[in-house]
Amino acid sequence: MQIREIAVTNPLGLHARASAKIVHAASRFRCSVSLVVDGRRASARSLLALMLLSASAGTMVKLEVDGPEEAAAMRAITALFQDGL
C-alpha cells in the first residue's frame, strides 16, 4: 500500500470535471484507489463519492493506493493533482 498527502491546487477544488479526471485515471489501473479528507474516505472510482468530499482549494487529501498496479496509479493521480486537475 502506498499513501501520499497531496494538496488540492485547483482554485475550484474537487468539482465535477476534476473529479471525473480522477475517476478516469483510477479506472485504468488494477488496484484500489481511495481519497481521504478529514477522516472521510471515498473511492476514486466514484464521481459522486469524490464530490461529496467537498475538498476545496488548499485542502490536504490523503491518496491511498493498494494493489498490483499501485505505483503506476499513484504516479498518474499525483500528476493530476500537481497539474491542477
Task: Say whether 24 is catalytic.
Answer: no
Catalytic site residue from 9, 15, 46, 69: 15
> What pLDDT, on a 0 to 100 scale, did the predictor assign at position 85?
84
pLDDT in tens, 60-80: 999 999 999 999 999 999 999
Strands of the 60-66 sheet, one edge to the other: 2-7, 60-66, 32-37, 40-43
pLDDT in tens, 29-56: 999 999 999 999 999 999 999 999 999 9
For 51, counting Cβ atoms within 10 Å of its Cβ (0-12 exposed, 13-18 middle, 19+ buried), the class is middle
23-44 burial by CB neighbour count: b if 16+ within 10 A, else e? bebbeebebbbbbbbeeeebeb
CATH class as words, domain 2-82: alpha beta
* Residue 7, strand partner residues: 60
In the chain, pLDDT over 70 holds for what percent of residues? 100
Q: pTM for this structure?
A: 0.92
Does residue 84 surpass a pLDDT of 90? no
